[in-house]
Amino acid sequence: MKNRSFPHTGATTSRLGIGAMSFSNFYGEVSRDEVFAILDAAQEFGVSHIDTASVYGMGGSERHIGAYLAENPQARSFFHIASKGGITDRKDPNRLFNNEESYLAEQLDNSLERLGVEQIDLYYVHRRDPSVPIEEVTQTLAGFVKLGKIGGFGYSEISPTSLRAAHAVHPVAALQSEYSLSTRTPELGILQTCAELSTTFVAFSPVGRSLLTDSPHGHEAAQSMPFLAKNPRFMEPNLSMNIKAAAPFRALAAQMGLTAAGLAIAWCLAKGDHILPIPGTRNLDHFKALVAGANYGLSAEELAAVEAALPMGWINGDRYSEAQWAGPERYA
C-alpha cells in the first residue's frame, strides 16, 4: 500500500483510510467482531488511517476502536487515528454546532477517554459554528496541539475562503469533504486550495454511499436507513435513475478486473496526490476490493474512460436534503 503524507504534521499514512462511521449503526447494526475483523485486515493490508467522530453512534465507533486497541496495544503505533467534535447532542434545536473552546475541549477529552489514547493524531471540527470566528476556533485547536492532546487538526465541510482564513492563523493539516464520481463539487476550488496550502484532502463517501458499487442500495434498503431514506439521491424516481445511469461504470470496472467500488477508489486517488479517500465498510470482501482499487493505479486512458462512463453531472438529486445541508459551507 502506497502512502499519503500530512505535510503540516509530518505524519505519513496509507493512501487509503477507513471511514469508521461504519463502526456505528448509521447504516445498520454492527458487531464488535465485524469491527475487529476489519481492523485486523487493515493491519494485514497496510491500511493505517482510521477516521471516526464523537457523534458516530454517540461514541460507539470510538468505543469499538478503543476496545480493539486495548486488546491489541501494539496496533496503536500502526494506526493514525482521526476523530471529530463540534456537533452538539441536538437537545437544543437552535444550536446544532458548538465550536467554543470549552465545548471542544470537553468533546476532545471524551474522545480520548473512549479511544483509550493519550493523543489523537488528527482532530477535526466536524461542523463550523457560525457564531464563533474560524480564526478563534483555529487558535483553540492550535492550543490542543501545544498541550499534546492532538498531533494536528483539520476542518470538515468548509469553503476555500474559510480554509484560507484558518490557515493564516495556523497551518491546517487536513480538510474533509464528500468527494466521488457522484459528488465533484470539491473540484470547484477546495481541492486546488488544499494543494496550494499543502493541506491533505480527505474524501468521505468516495463510493457514493453505495451508488458507485456493484450492489447499490435499492429502495427498500435505503428506506431502512434514516439518513438515506431522506436523501434526494436515494428517493424515487432518482434512485432508480441513478442505479441505471451507473451501469456503464459497473461494466467498465468488471472489464478492468475491479469491483465498481474499487474503481471508484482508484479514480479518487488518481485525481490528486494530496487526496486520501476513507470508504467505510464492515464486510471483509468489500474491504479487500477497496484495497485492490487503491493499489491499482489508473492510466490516463483508463481515467478518461471512467469519466466518459460517468461524466460530470450524471447524478440525479442533490447530495443532501435541505435539513441535511445544515452545517456544510456552500461555496459553488
Measured distance CA(228)–CA(223) in Å, rounded: 7
Among 246, 243, 264, 261, residue whose Cα is nearest residue 179:
264
27 is catalytic: no
CA torsion sign for 307, 1, 206, 183 is: negative
* Cell 480538510, located at residue: 175
Residue 57 identity (one-letter amino acid): G
Given 56, 123, 124, 296, the catalytic residue: 56
Among 63, 85, 66, residue whose Cα is nearest residue 150:
85
Phi and psi torsions of 114, nearest 5°: -65, -40
CA 316 centroid distance within chain = 22
Name the DSSP class of 150: B
- Number of helical (H) and strand (E) elements in the chain, helices listed first: 13, 10
Measured distance CA(245)–CA(252) in Å, rounded: 13
Cis bond before residue 133 (omega within 30° of 0):
no
* Residue 127 near residue 158 (C-beta atoms within 8 A): no
Among 64, 71, 18, residue whose Cα is nearest residue 42:
18
Q: What amino acid positions are annotated as catalytic residues?
A: 56
